[in-house]
Structure 1
Amino acid sequence: MSQSIDLGFGRSAAIWSNARDRMSYERPDGHTFSLYLSGGAGTRRLDGGPDARGRPGVLCIMPQGHSSEWEITDFFEFVHLYVPDDQMRRMFAETFDRDARLMALPEVTFDDAPALALRLRQMTEAILAGGHLLAEEAMTQAIHDLFVDPRYGGMRACTISGGLAPHVRRRTLDYIETHLGETIRLQDLADIGQLSAFHFQRMFRASFGVSPHGWVAHRRVARAKSMLSGMEPIAQIASACGFSSQSHMTRAFKLGTGLTPSAYRQRQ
């Protein structure tokens, strides 16, 4: 494993690589989603799955209780999303307003699923950047796209046009400002308005024009700018503003201002 991220409530994601190996999955707890990022032509399933090999962009889904055996003869890199069964059912029920017992997750090997692959690539970028909220947003959208796909559930896509109620907007922004120096979870924000994470992030964007991650990133950069007028070390400022590292702050700060924190401080 090269890098991983904790998504809260037992959910997580990790970037892996492997070469010349033999792997077995024996009825694991929880559900695993796998997207091949690079390589994969040397990977095949040995236990009666489809007679195919991996390649960049293909998806595998290993539901809870799944068993499989794999042969790997060449280097490849992939991202895994891990979701406990109770959390998967909760997200399904909240997003689609259906009984959690109706959730059925298919076993999938080397499928092309562009919408879902896009979300898992976004999650990969979030892992590399240390962006917990961005990764959680990508996961939430991925769950929606999974069950909307006719092959994996065929649920009716959720259409949301309205924004958050005024009192929910105020409470949400107050929460963000109060917890800006901490890890902010999408589910915690959604709980403020008693909404599903999926509905909340759509309604937040309708209200503010950006995603929750985009808003939080902007506010963290704004706080960092004000703190850079002092003498506090940049690493301490990064921590106080909720960035996962100084390099994470530098990337976000340069994206927001066109300058590195050091260059910005020198201009003050």
Structure 2
Amino acid sequence: MPIQHTDPDMAVFTAGQTRGIAGFAARDILCASDALGWTRLHVSHQRELPFSGWFAESADHLFVLHRQGTALVDLSCGPTRLSGAVGPGAMSVLPGGVKIRLRLHGPLETVHLSLRGGGAPSADNGARPTPTPTPAPALGQANPALFQLTDIAADMMYVGCGDGLAGSVARMLSAELADMPHRHPAARFTARQFHDVYRFIRQHLDQPLRLEDLALVACTSTVHFARRFREATGWSPHQFLIGLRLAVARGLLRGADPIAQIAAQCGFSHQEHMTRLFRQWLGITPAAWRRRIACAG
């Protein structure tokens, strides 16, 4: 059976529990994580129109990935005042614990990632979450690590991943924030390595993937990779791979493709292999899952 990565005592993190900036600014909410059961992250992808507003103090930290468009932005985070142009690929950071005033002068397409201020899962399952460090405000800056982790979370949202996989991003993001004040951060599995491995898995999901393949992508030894990956994400590489295969399969089961074809697309050796893991991890067969979602909607 897979390791339990969710916290049954923590409420699902929905848009109504964020500062509400995305809903206030958006012309179109293209996708959001509300229905996925995520407890430590909330992610949304939207097209924003010009706006100006004040937003209440919150414990949660907001990371904004600017995907399309260039516009001037004025940002006040408590006593800090920032103004400037933001463009594709840039990151803005709105820390928790202060009131926010935000003015957007032009349309943008963005991804918002809110990280719950209570903390990310600790390294040993079942232990109290590690407190989330408070980042400094930033506007339209190049920050590859924050970009990579937000990009992974957005893809997980579109795939329909569960709370456990999303928790791996929360854990990595908290570690990244903890390292930011230090010139020489602790040796660990990095956001770049996680992003490279994640994208490699997504691009080769229909193929057999060995631990050696993933370690090569991360530019490290297999033993070192397996240990660092688990420490950083809370998952062994094998568990993470199965979890991602099953998440993609759940999404494909909403369509009409044969189950055997979906199993092949997701890298299972045959339909029976996917069915066995589906039942083991989710307590239901793929056919029953398909019937359930058809009845639901």
Which of the five TM-score ranges fits, normalised by the shorter chain?
A: 0.5 to 0.7
Alpha-carbon distance between aligned partners in 1 of 2:141 and 2:124, rounded to the nearest angstrom: 26
Q: Where does residue 113 of structure 2 map in the other structure?
A: 81
Does 2:47 match 1:17?
Answer: yes
The aligned runs of 1:111-122 (5 Å cut-off) are 111-122=141-152
Percent identity of the aligned residues?
Answer: 13
Q: 1:63 aligns with which of 95, 99, 106?
A: 95
| Amino acid corresponding to residue 146 of structure 2 in structure 1 | L
Alpha-carbon distance between aligned partners in 2 of 1:28 and 1:101, rounded to the nearest angstrom: 15
Measured after TM superposition, the shift of residue 114 of structure 1 is 0.6
Against the structure 1 CA distance between its residues 74 and 147, is the aligned structure 2 distance closer, same or farther, given a 3 Å change threshold?
same
- Where is the helix percentage greater, Structure 1 or Structure 2? 1
Q: Where does residue 181 of structure 1 map in the other structure?
A: none
Alpha-carbon distance between aligned partners in 2 of 1:83 and 1:69, rounded to the nearest angstrom: 19
| Amino acid corresponding to residue 113 of structure 2 in structure 1 | L
The aligned runs of 1:71-110 (5 Å cut-off) are 71-88=103-120, 91=122, 103-110=133-140
Measured after TM superposition, the shift of residue 245 of structure 1 is 5.8
| Contact 1:22/1:72 (8 A) holds in 2 | yes
Aligned residues: 196
Against the structure 1 CA distance between its residues 64 and 106, is the aligned structure 2 distance closer, same or farther, given a 3 Å change threshold?
same
Alpha-carbon distance between aligned partners in 2 of 1:15 and 1:117, rounded to the nearest angstrom: 14
Q: Where does residue 173 of structure 2 map in the other structure?
A: 142
Alpha-carbon distance between aligned partners in 1 of 2:256 and 2:75, rounded to the nearest angstrom: 38
Does 2:49 match 1:39?
Answer: no
Does 2:254 match 1:246?
Answer: yes
Against the structure 1 CA distance between its residues 113 and 130, is the aligned structure 2 distance closer, same or farther, given a 3 Å change threshold?
same
| Contact 1:32/1:62 (8 A) holds in 2 | yes
Q: Where does residue 278 of structure 2 map in the other structure?
A: none
Against the structure 1 CA distance between its residues 24 and 249, is the aligned structure 2 distance closer, same or farther, given a 3 Å change threshold?
farther
Does 2:138 match 1:130?
Answer: no
Alpha-carbon distance between aligned partners in 2 of 1:18 and 1:80, rounded to the nearest angstrom: 11
Against the structure 1 CA distance between its residues 201 and 214, is the aligned structure 2 distance closer, same or farther, given a 3 Å change threshold?
same
Alpha-carbon distance between aligned partners in 1 of 2:165 and 2:130, rounded to the nearest angstrom: 26
Against the structure 1 CA distance between its residues 113 and 17, is the aligned structure 2 distance closer, same or farther, given a 3 Å change threshold?
same
Q: CA RMSD in A?
A: 4.3
Measured after TM superposition, the shift of residue 18 of structure 1 is 0.9
| Contact 1:141/1:198 (8 A) holds in 2 | no
Q: 2:81 aligns with which of 49, 63, 70?
A: 49
| Contact 1:35/1:59 (8 A) holds in 2 | yes
Secondary structure class of the residue paired with 1:16: strand
| Contact 2:189/2:232 (8 A) holds in 1 | no
| Contact 2:230/2:236 (8 A) holds in 1 | no
Secondary structure class of the residue paired with 1:143: helix
Alpha-carbon distance between aligned partners in 2 of 1:199 and 1:248, rounded to the nearest angstrom: 39
| Contact 1:24/1:70 (8 A) holds in 2 | yes
Alpha-carbon distance between aligned partners in 1 of 2:57 and 2:66, rounded to the nearest angstrom: 21
Alpha-carbon distance between aligned partners in 2 of 1:45 and 1:17, rounded to the nearest angstrom: 19
| Amino acid corresponding to residue 246 of structure 1 in structure 2 | R
TM value normalised by structure 2: 0.51
Q: Deviations over 1:117-174 (max 9, x none)?
A: 01111211222222235543333323323332347x86413369xxxxxxxxxxxxxx
Q: Deviations over 1:10-35 (max 9, x none)?
A: 53211122112113222124222221
Alpha-carbon distance between aligned partners in 2 of 1:50 and 1:203, rounded to the nearest angstrom: 38
Against the structure 1 CA distance between its residues 218 and 104, is the aligned structure 2 distance closer, same or farther, given a 3 Å change threshold?
closer
TM value normalised by structure 1: 0.56
Q: 1:215 aligns with which of 225, 236, 242?
A: 242
